[in-house]
Amino acid sequence: MSNEDLGGLSLWDQVQTYVAKIKKLEVEIKEKSKQIEEKEKELAEKEAKIQDLQKKIEEKEKFLDKKSSELEEYAKKLEEMKNEYAQKTKEIEEKINAILQSEKVLKEYEEALASAKEKIEANLEELTKFQEYFTKAVEEITAKQKEFIEKSSQVIKMQTTLSDLREKMISTIQSLAESAKVPLPEVAAPETAAAESKAVEAKPEEGAAAPEEKKEEEFEVVIVDGEEFIKCPQCGTLNSKDAIMCYNCGYVFKPEELENQ
């Protein structure tokens, strides 16, 4: 309300009007003050919240700083692990190369072993055939040796029989001579007569050179399973080292022992 509006009022009315205005202003001021207080209270609450948030932010910053340090350490560890992994990868690659090389060598070795196995199997087959041949030869030799022993026994029996007949013949001749009173010439034993005959045949003529002594013949010795055998120079049969003659063809190894028998 302007002064022009109050010009028609009395002083009292003007005072009352101003008082009313003042009261109204007081009410408005009180309301404004209340609003300001509420605003201040709200600001205080907001400030407390801001301080609380600032505190939390500081804590978060500390936590982030801690996590950042941890992340830096973790990054260092990751870098070390990366280097270690690279080293391990290199070692593994070297080992793989070594394994591949070993596999190549093993493959060559397996091929060599397979070849050696084939040769060994072939040799075993040949040895089996030789063993069969040797077993058959031993059986034949054993049979012939048995036959030779039987014939030797027969010869010894025949020699004994001849010796008995000779003694009977000499006894009969002596009896007849005594009865007829005819002198008998001395009859030498077959062994003595044969020896004298050989001595006469071997006696050199006067002025002739003495015959060379007969050298003992050497025969090839074959060792089979640790046992010695004499190889016959005539037919190639293996005979016992104590054999006098060949079991197969009758070749005489020791004629002097045969003559003594």
- DSSP assignment, residue 252? B
Residue pLDDT, tens place only, 159-200: 677 777 777 777 777 777 677 654 544 444 444 444 444 443
* pLDDT at position 251 over 80: yes
Domain ranges in the chain are: 219-261
Region 239-250: what's the mean pLDDT? 88
Residue pLDDT, tens place only, 39-71: 888 888 888 988 898 899 899 899 999 998 898
The answer to whether the predicted template modeling score (pTM) of the entire model surpasses 0.85 is no
Query: How is the chain split among helix, strand and coil, in percent rounded to 5?
Result: 75, 5, 20
Surface-to-core class of residue 138, CB atoms within 10 Å of its CB (0-12 exposed, 13-18 middle, 19+ buried): middle
